[in-house]
C-alpha cells in the first residue's frame, strides 16, 4: 500500500474540533470515515465534504462497551481500510466527583479511555501496513497542568491520552507511524455548551482558540512527527512557565482559578 491510500477515521466528528479535523483532511484529499452519535450532523458534514473526497458515515455511541468492536467490524464489512485514526470523541462531566452517579463516570471513562485504547488496538495492524500510518489523539492542555476542581476525571483522562501517545509513538516509530497528542486549550466549540459551563466561565477572550486552527495545528504536527502539539503561542508560553514552578505553587494557582472555568457545585 502507498501513503496515498486508506481512510482517516475521525471519532466525535459531528462538531467542534472533530468536524474541523475532517474538513482539514478533506482539503488534503484524504478519504474519510466519520463517526459519532448524531446521524443528522454526520450526514450534513458528509454532504459538505463529498465533493472533495469519498466519505463514509458510521453512527456509533462509544459509551457502549461493544461499540469499538462493532465500529471496526462495520468498517471492514464495507471493505474500507484505516490509515489514519483520530481519537477525538470526548466530553466533560461538570461538578465534583461525589455529586455524580457512578454510571455517569463509567460512561465517561468508557468514551475517554477504554474506547480510545480498544479502537487503537483493533486498528493498529491496519495502520501499520501503510507507509505513513497516523494516529492523532485529541488530548487537552489540561493534560499538562494540575487537575482542576470540578470535572475531576477530565484532566486524568487527557493525561492518560498524552502518555498513551508517547508510548505508542516509541513502539511504532520503526514502522513510520506518527502518533501525536494534540493538547489544545479553551477552544470555541460545543464542548462548554454541552456541559452547561459556558455562562459560568470568565476566561479572557484572548485565551480562546478557533477549532479550525487547532485542527490544522494537530494535523501538521502529526505529519511532522511531533509527539505533543500545543496550539497557540500563549498556551505554549504558559506551559513553559508552569513547568518551572514548584508543584505546591502550581496546585495553589489551580485551586484559586478553578472557579473561573469549572463549575464546582
Instruction: Catalogue the active-site residues.
Output: 154
3-class SS of residue 11: strand
Q: What share of the chain is helix, strand, coil (3-state, %, to 5)?
A: 50, 15, 35
Task: Determine contact, residues 90/138, Cβ cutoff 8 Å.
Answer: yes
161: closest CA among 97, 86, 107?
A: 86
Measuring CA to CA, how many Å separate 81 from each of 123, 147, 210, 217? 9, 37, 31, 25
Cα separation, 191 vs 92, in Å, equals 8
3-class SS of residue 183: coil
Cα separation, 151 vs 142, in Å, equals 11
Three-state secondary structure string covering 86-140: EECCCCCCCCCHHHCCHHHHHHHHHHHHHHHHHHHHHHHHHHHCCCCCEEEEECC
Amino acid at each position: 500500500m502507498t501513503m496515498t491510500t486508506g481512510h482517516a477515521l475521525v471519532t466525535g466528528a459531528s462538531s467542534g474540533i472533530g468536524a474541523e479535523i475532517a474538513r482539514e483532511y478533506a482539503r488534503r484529499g484524504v478519504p474519510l470515515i466519520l463517526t459519532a452519535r448524531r446521524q443528522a450532523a454526520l450526514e450534513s458534514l458528509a454532504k459538505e465534504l463529498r465533493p472533495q473526497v469519498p466519505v463514509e458515515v458510521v453512527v456509533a455511541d462509544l459509551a457502549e462497551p461493544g461499540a469499538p468492536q462493532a465500529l471496526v467490524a462495520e468498517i471492514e464489512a464495507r471493505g474500507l481500510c484505516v490509515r489514519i485514526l483520530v481519537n477525538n470523541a470526548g466530553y466533560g462531566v461538570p461538578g465534583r466527583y461525589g455529586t455524580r452517579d457512578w454510571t455517569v463516570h463509567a460512561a465517561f471513562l468508557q468514551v475517554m479511555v477504554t474506547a480510545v485504547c480498544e479502537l487503537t488496538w483493533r486498528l493498529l495492524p491496519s495502520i501499520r501496513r501503510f507507509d505513513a500510518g497516523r494516529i492523532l489523539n485529541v488530548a487537552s492542555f489540561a493534560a499538562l497542568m494540575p487537575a482542576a476542581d470540578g470535572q475531576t476525571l477530565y484532566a486524568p483522562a487527557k493525561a492518560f491520552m498524552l502518555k498513551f501517545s508517547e508510548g505508542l509513538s516509541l513502539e511504532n516509530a520503526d514502522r513510520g507511524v506518527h502518533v501525536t497528542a494534540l493538547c489544545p486549550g479553551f477552544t470555541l466549540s460545543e464542548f462548554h455548551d454541552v456541559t452547561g459551563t459556558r455562562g459560568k466561565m470568565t476566561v479572557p477572550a484572548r485565551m480562546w482558540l478557533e477549532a479550525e486552527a487547532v485542527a490544522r495545528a494537530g494535523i501538521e504536527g502529526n505529519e511532522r512527527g511531533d509527539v505533543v502539539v500545543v496550539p497557540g503561542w500563549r498556551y505554549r508560553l504558559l506551559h513553559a512557565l508552569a513547568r518551572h514552578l514548584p508543584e505546591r505553587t502550581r496546585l495553589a494557582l489551580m485551586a484559586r482559578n478553578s472557579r473561573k472555568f469549572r463549575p464546582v457545585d
